[in-house]
Amino acid sequence: MACRVALVTGAAKGIGSAIALRLARDGYDIVLNYHTRKDSADELAKKIRGMGHDCLPIKADMSSVAEIRAMYDEALEHFGHIDLCVNNAGISSEVYFLDATEEDFDKMTAIDWKGLYFSSQFAARSMVERGIRGVIVNISSNQTEGCWPRATIYGPTKAAVSKFTKNAAMELSLKGIRMVAVAPGYTNVGWPEGDIRLEAAARLPFRRFASTDEIASLVSYVASDEAAYMTGNTVLMDGGATLPVVAANDFV
């Protein structure tokens, strides 16, 4: 029986890297998408192969539909099929609304929204053509639930991802394909202890950030047969960051 194959975008670092490793542990061969971090992608591929699984790193700019298409062509030529697609690639540049430029808007929406849309389409087409009842997992954000400064582009792109997941899941259900979004909150993507960005942890209910492994565990679950009746959902995992009306730690 052929091994299951998972394609993970933006997999050379952070959450994407953790997801790729977790899925390899779950038994998947891996298509590992990266854009600029070839050394990191190659090292991750070596780890996955050391676990006994095939791993194909592919360079592709997720803002380019032509490069996304070429990535899927190469992956399908190598593996023959894709059972799971995890659309993780994204950027989260912060810019105040009054300072935002057309370049800021186009760059973020091209990667975080357009790239995810067409990656999902290529994945779903490949599944339908091969009769695979596959799964597509889209990485959204808790910014769909809360508002932060300097996020008038990023927040709405993630809201688009969650709404797209609902609409596409409805259509794809007729083909036996599930689509689910996972919405992380504050996540430590490799920052060292003492990094100023980690100071926000003191304002969170659990007073810490998520680890990338925790996000990867959720992706593993929603992609598994145990979640076979789940589709169209956006599953929030942010440690309660969006619970308080005003973030404070003195309510207990």
Whose structure tokens read 């298509």? Answer: 31
The answer to whether 190 touches 211, Cβ cutoff 8 Å, is no
- Residue 79, phi then psi, degrees to nearest 5: -100, -25
**Cα–Cα dist 127/134, whole Å:** 6
Q: φ and ψ at 141, to 5 degrees?
A: -165, 155
Q: Which residues pair with 8 in a beta bridge?
A: 32, 86
Q: Cα angle at 14 between 11 and 16, to 5 degrees?
A: 30
Pairing of strands 29-34, 55-59: parallel
On the CB side of 123, CA atoms within 13 Å amount to 29
How many CA atoms lie within 13 Å of 16's alpha carbon, on the beta-carbon side?
27
SS3 31: strand
117 is catalytic: no
The amino acid that residue 54 corresponds to is D
DSSP conformational letter for 111:
I
Residue tagged active-site, from 117, 154, 186, 221: 154
Residue found under tokens 């849309």: 117
Residue type, 126: S
The set of catalytic residues is 154
